[in-house]
Structure 1
Amino acid sequence: MARQQPRVLVGRTAAITGGARGIGKETARALLREGMKVAIGDLDLALAEATADELRTAVPGRGGVPVEVRAYALDVVDRDSVRAFVDAVEADLGPIDVFDSNAGIMALTTFLDESDDSIRRQIDVNVMGVVNGAKEILPRFVARGRGHLVNVASMAGKAGFAGAATYCGTKHFVVGLSEAIRGELAHAGAPVDVTCVMPAIVQTELAAGTKDTRGVKKVTPEEVAAAIVEALKAPRFDVFVPRSAGVANTVIGVLPRRGREGVAKALGADRALIEADPAARAAYELRAAASDPRLDAPAPPKSLAP
C-alpha cells in the first residue's frame, strides 16, 4: 500500500490558545516555519504581541514573503471571548484550519491542602477552556467539511499523580472529551480531524521544580511542537511526547493496579509532582493563581512563603 502524502500546511490558518509562551509559543514558531498563518490568543495581550513581534522577526518567510502572525486578547474561560477570538482571526487571516487548545495551568499541592479557588481555576481553564474552544470551532469545521482540532492534554490524563489531583482530573477530562468528540464526528461522517497531545513533563514554567523520573525524560516545548506538526501533516489521534511514553503507557496499562503502582514507584513517577520544589515553583504558582481577571490576586500560599 502506497504511503499517504503528507498534508500540505502552507497557506493554512492556525489559532493557538495560550500561545504567548511555552508550548504554545513554540508551536506557533513551528507552524510559521511550515508556511502557515498563525493567530496567538492569550490572556496577556502585551506578551502575545511581544511574542508575535519576536516570531515575525525570527522566522524567515517563504519566497521572501514575511510570515503572518497576529496576537489577540483571549480569555478561554469566557465563551464570548473565545467566539470573538475566532471571529477576529477568521476576519483577519481567513477560515481557521487548525484550532490548538493549548491554554492550561497546573497547581501542585495535596488535594486536602488545595484551596477551592485553585480547584475552580484549573477546572475553568483546563476544562471549560477546552470545551469553549471546541464548541466555537467545531460547528465551523463541520459546516466546511474540513478542520483539525488539537487538544493539548498530558500524560497526567492517563494516570493519577500524587500532588496534582485536580490537574490530573482536568487532563483526564480533556482526553475523554477528545475521544468522544472524535467518535461523534466519525459517526456523523464529518471529515474533521481530532488530535489529543499527551506530553510527559515539559521543560516550561508550568513544570518548574518538578522532579525527574527514570525511563521517561522531560521534553522540550520544541519537541511537543514538532509532534503537533507531524500530526497535522499525517493526522492521528494519540500523540505522546516522547513516543516512548505511549509505549510505556500501553505496556503499563495491561498490568493490575498493584503492578502499575509498583512501576510508577520504581520510575520515581509517584514523587515527580508531590515532591516538587516549592521555591522553584513560587513565581509560576502565584501567576497561575491570579490568572482569572475576574478575581483579585490571592495572597501567597503559606507553603510558598520564603
Structure 2
Amino acid sequence: MSNKDLTGKKIAITGGARGIGAATARLLADRGAAVALGDIDADLVDETAASIAAATGVRVVGLKVDVTDRDSFAAFLDEADEGLGGLDVLINNAGIMPTGEFLDESDAVTDRQLDINVHGVITGSKLAGRRFAARGSGHIVNIASVAGISAAPGVAVYCATKHAVVGLGAALHQELAPKGVTVTTIAPSFVNTELIAGLSPNWLVRQIGLVQPEDVGNAIVDAIARKRGGFRAVPKVGGAFLKALMPLPENLRNGLYGALGLQHVTLDSDESVRAAYRDRTEKTTPAKAAAKGRS
C-alpha cells in the first residue's frame, strides 16, 4: 500500500458513525487527513468523531446527515467544507442490507434500500462532483459490494442496488476524469460489521471473502493516496474468484454456487439476531414518510 501522507486532505464520509465509515475515518486521520463524519445518528457520530480526534490529534467533526434527503446532503457538504476549511474527497459509504426472501419483502423496505444505497450515492456524487468539477480536482469514492458483480438469493434488492453503484461508478470514472474528478468504486465482500449479523459465512467465504472494516478502509485510503480511480474488490482474491466465474453460463455458475454452499449464506439468515440491525436501518425518517404519503 502507498505510504503517501494525507496531511492537508479534507475528506467527508457518509455512514461514518460505525463500521467501515468509522474505521476508514480513523485510518485517514492516522495519515493526517481532516475528516467530516456524517450519519443519521447524530449522537453516535459526535462520539465517534470526538474519539478519533482525541486519539489522532487531527480535525475530525461529526455531523448529522440523511443521505435520502437532498437538502440534508447538501447542508452536510457545506458544513464539512466550512468545518474542515475545504473538501477534497467524498466517500459515499452509507448503505443498508436487509435480508429475507424477495416475495416477502415489503415495498417500504425495498424503497428504503433504493433511497439509501442508490439515490443517496447518486445525490452525493452529483453534489460533490459539481463542486469538484468547478475547481478541476476532487475524488469521489463509492462503496459498492461484490454483490454488485455477482448476486445471491436472500438479498435480491440489495444486489440490484449494488449493481447500480458499480454501473454508476464505471460511467462516472470515464465521464468525470476529463473534469479532474477521480471516481473509485470499492466492492467489499463480507465485512465483519453489524451488517452481516445473523449470517453464517461458510468455510469458503471465511477463507476468501471475510474481511474486517479496516481492510476496506485500507483500500479506500490507498485509492485516495494514489488518486486511483476505477473498480477494486476487497479482498482481491474474493473478487478474482467471482470474476473468474462470471464468463460461465448462468445456470452452470448458479450450480457451482449451490454446490459450494454460497447460495445459503445470505438466504438462511437468523432474523432474530438481525432484528436490532434491521430496526435501526429500515426506519423511514418522518420527512421521508410524509413525502411518500403525499406522492
Pairwise same-fold verdict (TM > 0.5): yes
The offset of 1:104, in angstroms, is 0.5
Instruction: Give matches, 1:1-306, under 5 Å.
Output: 8-59=5-56, 66-186=57-177, 189-213=178-202, 214=204, 215-234=207-226, 235-294=228-287
TM-score, length-scaled by structure 1:
0.89
The offset of 1:192, in angstroms, is 1.3
Contact 1:146–1:191 (8 Å) recurs in 2? yes
Identity across matched positions, percent: 44
Contact 1:17–1:102 (8 Å) recurs in 2? yes
Structure-2 separation of matches of 1:21 and 1:231: 21
SS at match of 2:191: coil
Contact 1:178–1:194 (8 Å) recurs in 2? yes
**Which structure shows the bigger proportion of residues in helix conformation?**
2
Structure-2 separation of matches of 1:143 and 1:26: 30
The offset of 1:8, in angstroms, is 4.2
Contact 1:231–1:239 (8 Å) recurs in 2? no
* Match in the other structure for 2:292: none
SS at match of 1:92: helix
TM-score, length-scaled by structure 2:
0.92
Q: Deviations over 1:150-200 (max 9, x none)?
A: 0001011112210011111111111111111112124xx222111101000
The offset of 1:259, in angstroms, is 2.5
Runs of 4+ in 1 over 3 A off after TM superposition: 5-8, 293-296
- Residues paired across the two proteins, number: 284
Structure-2 separation of matches of 1:132 and 1:69: 23
Contact 1:39–1:69 (8 Å) recurs in 2? yes
Change (3 A) 1:218 1:292: farther
Structure-2 separation of matches of 1:168 and 1:90: 33
SS at match of 1:119: helix
More displaced 10-residue stretch of structure 1: 40-49 or 235-244: 235-244
Structure-2 separation of matches of 1:293 and 1:23: 26
* Match in the other structure for 2:293: none
